[in-house]
Amino acid sequence: MTTSQRPTAWQDLLSFGRSVRLALSSPETRAKRAYEIFPPSTWTALNDHSSYLNFGYWRSEADTLDDACQALAEKLADAAGFQEGDRILDAGFGYGDQDFMWLERHNPAKIVGLNVTPTHVQIAQAKARERGLSDRLIFQEGSATAMTFEPSSFDRVVALESALHFRPREEFFRQAHHILRPGGVLATADILPLNDYSREDLFSPTVPRENWHDGNEYLARLRSAGFVNARLTSIRTHVYEQWCRWAERKLDAPEFQQNATWGYRRWLHRELADDTRMRRRFANMDYVIVVAEKPM
Ligand SMILES: C[S@@+](CC[C@H](N)C(=O)[O-])C[C@H]1O[C@@H](n2cnc3c(N)ncnc32)[C@H](O)[C@@H]1O
């Protein structure tokens, strides 16, 4: 299975049906349904080659979205302090691109990926099989808030732009604490409101109300889950504006036109058009890297 299949009018119709289903679905199933609305080729239509699903960490004007997504994944790996031989849990892995990169660059013993979206799991599993890596990259369907791993199963737990969806995020913190070994590290790349920005203004219905709080509260919730040395760094000045500029440049590119469904193109055009709705939303949002440790 690949992520680059040309969308058809039929897929637009399917997306429409799936958006209606999303609007009617229970809060528990929203994240999974949201990522099934569009075909994979649409979700990754702004990327050149990769299939990352994050906003990226932009270091220079010359960066592409692929570069930025990879840099964000590396920033998270640095924050988590990946070491050779680590057992890593990646909660909410998308199509798994970062896991293939981390395996190659950091040589962990294994990476277990957990994801609620069946298509994401199938695509990542197929890529691992094709590359003969299924014994060290283990992609599973499941929720980051319903984990059944044994205590001390992992040295690091990471969530790359996914914990905002977890219902609620603090349940993930509690479970991550349980499955980490003493001295293990939890690290997230995550999205938060900057001030009292209302969740209702956010475009995604997939962010639970209880996750929409500021950074101090984020750290407090980590501490009450048992973590110590919890710290948060804002990287927002390297994220949103650069992503908007990239998306604006891509809107009229033939590859984007070819790979994204009509509905998605129309939505993104509107979001980035004159009233720059998207930029106004981003002005109220932080983007953070957060790290915390389980005590020895
Ligand atoms: C914005 S995407 C980020 C994907 C990937 N980390 C990346 O950077 O490309 C969020 C991911 O979180 C997953 N997700 C949402 N809720 C989840 C949950 N409760 N448990 C596990 N994964 C979840 C989604 O299916 C999606 O793959």
Ligand 1 mutation pick, 33, 43, 115, 139, max ligand atoms within 8 A of CB: 115
pLDDT score, position 202: 60
Our measurement of the distance from residue 275's CA atom to the centroid of its chain's CA atoms, rounded to an integer in Å, reads 27
Smallest CA separation from ligand 1 atom 24, residue: 92
pLDDT score, position 196: 66
CATH of domain 65-235+287-293: 3.40.50.150
pLDDT score, position 1: 37
pLDDT score, position 35: 85
Distance (Å, whole) CA 208 – CA 186: 21
How confident is the prediction for the chain on average, in pLDDT?
90
Cα–ligand 1 centroid distance for 273 (angstroms): 27
- Picking from 209, 264, 270, the residue whose alpha carbon sits closest to that of residue 18 is 264
Distance (Å, whole) CA 113 – CA 159: 10
pLDDT score, position 121: 97
Cα–ligand 1 centroid distance for 95 (angstroms): 9
The 10s digit of each residue's pLDDT in 91-117 is 999 999 999 999 999 999 999 999 999
Q: What is the 3-state secondary structure (H, E, C) of 82-108?
A: CCCCCEEEEECCCCCHHHHHHHHHHCC
Helix axes 118-130, 97-106, angle to 10 degrees: 40
Ligand 1 mutation pick, 51, 99, 165, max ligand atoms within 8 A of CB: 165
Helix axes 215-224, 169-179, angle to 10 degrees: 40
Distances (CA, A) of 23 to 16, 18, 143, 204: 11, 9, 20, 11
Instruction: Return the domain boundaries, the chain.
Output: 9-47+238-281, 65-235+287-293
Cα–ligand 1 centroid distance for 274 (angstroms): 30
- How do the pLDDT tens digits run along the chain, 296 residues long? 345 556 666 666 666 666 666 666 666 677 777 788 788 889 899 999 999 999 999 999 999 999 999 999 999 999 999 999 999 999 999 999 999 999 999 999 999 999 999 999 999 999 999 999 999 999 999 999 999 999 999 999 999 999 999 999 999 999 999 999 999 999 999 999 987 666 555 656 788 888 989 999 999 999 999 999 999 999 999 999 999 999 999 998 999 988 998 888 888 988 888 667 888 888 889 999 999 999 99
Ligand 1 pocket: which residues have CB below 6 Å? 31, 35, 52-54, 91-94, 114-117, 120, 143-145, 160-162, 165-166
Buried b (16+ CB within 10 A) or exposed e, 101-120: bbbeebebebbbbbbbbebb
Q: What is the pTM of this model?
A: 0.92
